[in-house]
């Protein structure tokens, strides 16, 4: 049981390049989330999904796109990277239900945009 995994762990991009971050979970969770973490700003929600085939915008969605084609995977895309997107990106998943539940986080992806 791997829990939540993220690939890659590190990446350096040049301004204007594109990339996709992959998040996978093997806990059969319905809800998945993408956050970015910057010093002094906590975790900010980029996009989230409440089930396969669904996505929704979070607090800071601009410059990112997501897809949830399979229940276990949640992809985060950067079409044209900017230095402001330098950050640590965390994916999380949680069991859905009438009540909220614990979010399980992946190990993070450290992205640097030059």
Partner 1 sequence: GENVEQHPSTLSVQEGDSAVIKCTYSDSASNYFPWYKQELGKRPQLIIDIRSNVGEKKDQRIAVTLNKTAKHFSLHITETQPEDSAVYFCAAPNTGNQFYFGTGTSLTVIP
Binding site for partner 1 (CB under 8 A): 31, 33, 35, 40-45, 48, 50, 56, 58-59, 90, 99-100, 102-103, 105-108
Q: How far apart are CA 114 and CA 109, in angstroms?
A: 16
**Residue 17 vs 104, nearer CB to partner 1:** 104
**Residue 42 vs 62, nearer CB to partner 1:** 42
Q: What is the phi-psi region of residue 45: left when phi exceeds 0, alpha when psi lies from -120 to 50, beta otherwise? A: beta
Please list, in sequence order, all residues whose beta carbon lies within 8 angstroms of the beta carbon of residue 15, skipping any fewer than 6 positions away.
81, 82, 83, 113, 114
**Residue 81 vs 106, nearer CB to partner 1:** 106
- Give the shortest CB-19-to-partner 1 separation in angstroms: 21
**Residue 9 vs 70, nearer CB to partner 1:** 9
- Give the shortest CB-107-to-partner 1 separation in angstroms: 5
- Nearest one of 94, 89, 60, 95 to 76, comparing CA atoms: 89
Task: Copy the structure tokens of residue 50.
Answer: 């409440």
């Amino acid at each position: 049981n791997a829990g939540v995994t993220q690939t890659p762990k590190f990446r350096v991009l040049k301004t204007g390049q594109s990339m996709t971050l992959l998040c996978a979970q093997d806990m059969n969770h319905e809800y998945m989330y993408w956050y970015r973490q910057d010093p002094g700003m906590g975790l900010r929600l980029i996009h989230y999904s409440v089930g396969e085939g669904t996505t929704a915008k979070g607090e800071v969605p601009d410059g990112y796109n997501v897809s949830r084609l399979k229940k276990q995977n949640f992809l985060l895309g950067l079409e044209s990277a900017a230095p402001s997107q330098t950050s640590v990106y965390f994916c999380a998943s949680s069991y859905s239900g009438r009540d909220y539940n614990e979010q399980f986080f992946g190990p993070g992806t450290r992205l640097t945009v030059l």
